Chains A and B, each alone.
Chain A
Amino acid sequence: MDPQLKKGILDALVLSILAEGDTYGYHLSERVAGIMELSETALYPVLRRLEAQGWLGTYSVEHNGRLRKYYHLTAAGRERLRQYVEELTELERIIHIIAKGAGDHGEQA
């Protein structure tokens, strides 16, 4: 997949998972891994970037004698997610057309 496109989709995916509720790193990672193939190496920069943009915040909760870092969606993050959904809906429309074109082309071939 195109790196830029993947980046945008990953950002949106993480934001949408967080929109369902706050969650911690491992759980988030498992969720993402269940949807698309992604190593921790790829997920960490995403989280960092989203945090740096102010779209998600973190807080720590004690768990089994250590700290578990939770991620939550900020108001700005929610707004960004809305934009992503708009953009992706638009993209979906285009993809649909592309796929259809490709399909037509394939049938013709």
Chain B
Amino acid sequence: MGSRLDQVLERIRAGLDGLPEDTVRRVLDYYQEYIAEAIEAGRSEDEILLRLGDPGEIVEEIRAEASLAPEKTPADMPGPGLGGPSPTGTTEKTGDRCGRIYSGARAHAGKILLALGVSPFYLLGIGFYIIAAGGLLSALTAVGLTVAGILEIAPGYTWEKISMAGIGIFAAGCLAITGLLLWVGAAGITSFAHGLWRRDLPRGLERDREIAGRKRGNGEIKKKLVVLATIALLGLGVALPTGLPLRYFLIWNSVKPAFEVYTQTYNAADIREIEVKTLNSMIIAEVGARPGGNEIRIVYEEPDWMRGKFTVSGNRLIFSEESRGRLPFLDFVARHEGMTSVKIEVPPGYRARAMTLASKGGHITIALPAGDIKARTLTGNIRFDGCGSPFALRAVVKNGKIITGGRPLAGGSYTAGTGGEHTVELESNGGTVTIE
């Protein structure tokens, strides 16, 4: 069915070869529409063929009409000279050649566009789909492992968990929508490029079917978009009422998170050794402001997802900071934990037998008379402002730099003073060590 009708169209197409493309397309569009309507009306192929008449006649008619068209060319064109070539003929030839070059260039442009434009779109689209699917898979795995009792999730934090699940659903929906849109973009470029490329190839009823298929496809894409948008909004609807997304947003944007301040005071005479360990809070060791006092004060700003522990064993004071079991998703909050601090204030003239200050990510600031001090941090900076009795100083950095007297040193290590009664050791993996 349709093949003989296609043949008629093909014969018209072939017969009109060389005429302006627009003319040809309009003729074909007209006959295609007629055929499609007649088929829809239940006409048989024979009936339609009879009604269409002889394709040769159509072609002749159109050609005859087209040959009248050059009347429209500017009137000031020189008329045909005696025996000379007709200017109309010359114009047509040039037009033909131009047309061929133009359509060739267009076809190439189409191919190049296909190659350059489409693949990144498809790849990105596929990539986003994979990310969305991977996220969903890992979420399901996490849930499964938790249900099976293999994975333990910190107790409590109910709202955080609900909120994170909502944000996860929202993110998955957004990723999937992005993937879908990229896919649609790729399909659009494909059909556009394809159109440029194939415009000069014969067409038949197939084109109608192609358009119909595309229309159907658009409807499906719309449906998919609605489903994905609903999923994303559902996730947002779950997450937003918990109020946590707003909080994360504030934390993320460097608004100092809520914290409690704890202060512990010890008699300096009882404490000979001090050991402070934090995760990401800053450590500040300095001489207390009150002269003549004889107490060691530790002031800790405790963010609500951390816990500070003060212990004294013998004459050793230990402060350590630990996580309250924050959900892994919230790790990014850790980057802002450095905004809180633990401050150790010692009385003037106090010198610990040993002082150890260690932080994973926080900065360490020491403004004390030199003593036996060890400071170590992984990613934080260390600032040492010591004075007083002679001491030996050793500073080591791995990926950071050392600054003394305001100038950066070339090497990764620095030693100063040899003898002395005390040793100061400063070590940072990735931060800067500054010695005043």
Q: Is the CB of B58 within 8 A of A44?
A: yes
A26 contacts which of B37, B212, B216 (Cβ < 8 Å)?
A: B37
- Least CB distance, B70 to chain A, in whole angstroms: 15
Alpha-carbon distance between A66 and B213 when the two chains are bound, in angstroms: 9
Instruction: Give the residues in chain B near A49, CB-CB below 8 Å.
Output: 65
Alpha-carbon distance between A67 and B25 when the two chains are bound, in angstroms: 14
Alpha-carbon distance between A65 and B61 when the two chains are bound, in angstroms: 31
A42-69 near B? 1/0 per residue, CB < 8 Å: 1011011100000000000010111111
- Least CB distance, A43 to chain B, in whole angstroms: 9
Instruction: Give the residues in chain A near B40, CB-CB below 8 Å.
Output: 64
Instruction: Give the residues in chain B near A16, CB-CB below 8 Å.
Output: none
Does A4 make an interface contact (CB < 8 A)?
A: no
Within 8 A of A (CB), among B32-85: 33-34, 36-38, 40-41, 51-54, 57-58, 61-62, 65
Interface of B is mostly: helix
Q: Is the CB of A39 within 8 A of B208?
A: no
Q: Is the CB of A26 within 8 A of B29?
A: no
Q: Is the CB of A25 within 8 A of B37?
A: yes
Total interface residues on A, CB under 8 Å, equals 22
Instruction: Give the residues in chain A near B147, CB-CB below 8 Å.
Output: none
Q: Is the CB of B33 within 8 A of A68?
A: yes
Alpha-carbon distance between A22 and B60 when the two chains are bound, in angstroms: 29
Alpha-carbon distance between A26 and B41 when the two chains are bound, in angstroms: 9
Q: Is the CB of A39 within 8 A of B51?
A: yes
Q: Is the CB of A40 within 8 A of B37?
A: no
9 extra interface residue pairs, beta carbon distance < 8 Å, beyond A42-B61, A62-B215: A24-B37, A26-B38, A27-B37, A29-B51, A39-B51, A40-B51, A41-B54, A41-B61, A68-B37
- Would you list 20 pairs from A and B whose C-beta atoms are within 8 A, ordered by A residue? A24-B33, A25-B30, A26-B37, A26-B38, A26-B41, A27-B37, A39-B51, A40-B51, A40-B52, A40-B53, A41-B58, A41-B61, A44-B58, A45-B62, A66-B33, A66-B36, A68-B33, A68-B37, A69-B29, A69-B30
Chain A residues in contact with chain B, CB under 8 A? Answer: 24-27, 29, 33, 39-42, 44-45, 47-49, 62, 64-69
Chain B residues in contact with chain A, CB under 8 A? Answer: 26-27, 29-31, 33-34, 36-38, 40-41, 51-54, 57-58, 61-62, 65, 208, 211-213, 215-216
